[in-house]
Amino acid sequence: MRDESPQLVERLRAGEPAAFREMVECYQRDVYALAYDLCGNHHDAEDLSQEVFIKAFRAIGSFRADAKLGSWLYRITMNAHIDNKRRKPVQLVSIDARDDDEAQPSERSLEFAASGARPDQTAGAARFQVDVENALDALSTQERAVFVLRHYHDMKIGEISQSLSIAEGTVKSLLFRSMRKLRDRLAHYGDEVGDLA
């Protein structure tokens, strides 16, 4: 996330429509990336991103001037994701059934494929990515959030603490638990799991 000028925040708080458009243009890629990493698919990530900016627009009056706009948007994204997970009913799927999203390679595996790797390497990377996504789905919402912010978005413990409004010790504990669970679920990959840390 990028830091914004105090003038943008002032314009947002004054209700200036052009300022809201600027905020969306400035942060939409970052919010979508976090939403995608949390949701695991494009459709839900788009819906979550739109929800985040609507909530931000409605709540801009409560934004503290001493906070960072990017951290505030991260917090809204996390809270909206958690709320959606609570409301969304659990779907039972047969092991034989294939979801359309699962049948499609992820963005990360497509990037790997575009790098010119051999087909056997590409297939292995795609399978690894699917297994990582399945392992991430097995984490609690907070464990996944902390893992994603730390390892996919390179945030420091203090930044995660501030973004999620939880103590640094809690962040460390969630990060430790998520890493342990991921290593257990991906143990059959051996040393490759070290790439997650």
The Cα 151–Cα 13 span in angstroms is 33
CB-based contact 189:182 (threshold 8 Å): no
39 found inside a domain: yes
pTM above 0.85, yes or no: no
- Between the two ends of the chain, the Cα-to-Cα distance in Å is 21
Determine the pLDDT at residue 35: 92
161 found inside a domain: no
The Cα 31–Cα 20 span in angstroms is 15
Determine the pLDDT at residue 77: 92
User: How do the pLDDT tens digits run along the chain, 197 residues long?
Assistant: 454 567 888 888 888 889 889 999 999 999 999 999 888 889 999 999 999 999 998 888 888 767 788 888 988 998 898 888 877 654 444 334 444 444 444 444 444 444 444 455 556 667 777 788 888 888 888 898 899 888 888 889 998 888 888 899 999 999 999 999 988 888 877 765 555 54
195 found inside a domain: no
Determine the pLDDT at residue 164: 83
Determine the pLDDT at residue 121: 54
163 found inside a domain: no
Determine the pLDDT at residue 182: 87
42 found inside a domain: yes
* Overall number of domains in the chain: 1
Structural domain for 89, as ranges? 1-99
Determine the pLDDT at residue 113: 43
The Cα 190–Cα 183 span in angstroms is 9
109 found inside a domain: no
Query: Within the chain, how many helices (H) and strands (E) appear?
Result: 10, 0
30 found inside a domain: yes
DSSP 105-172: PPHHHHHHHHTT--HHHHHHHHHHHHHHHHHHHTS-HHHHHHHIIIIIS---HHHHHHHHT--HHHHH
Determine the pLDDT at residue 8: 83
131 found inside a domain: no
- The domain spanning residue 53 has which CATH number? 1.10.1740.10
Looking up tokens 């297939």 gives 123
The CB density around residue 38, as the number of other CB atoms within 10 Å, is: 24
Determine the pLDDT at residue 88: 63
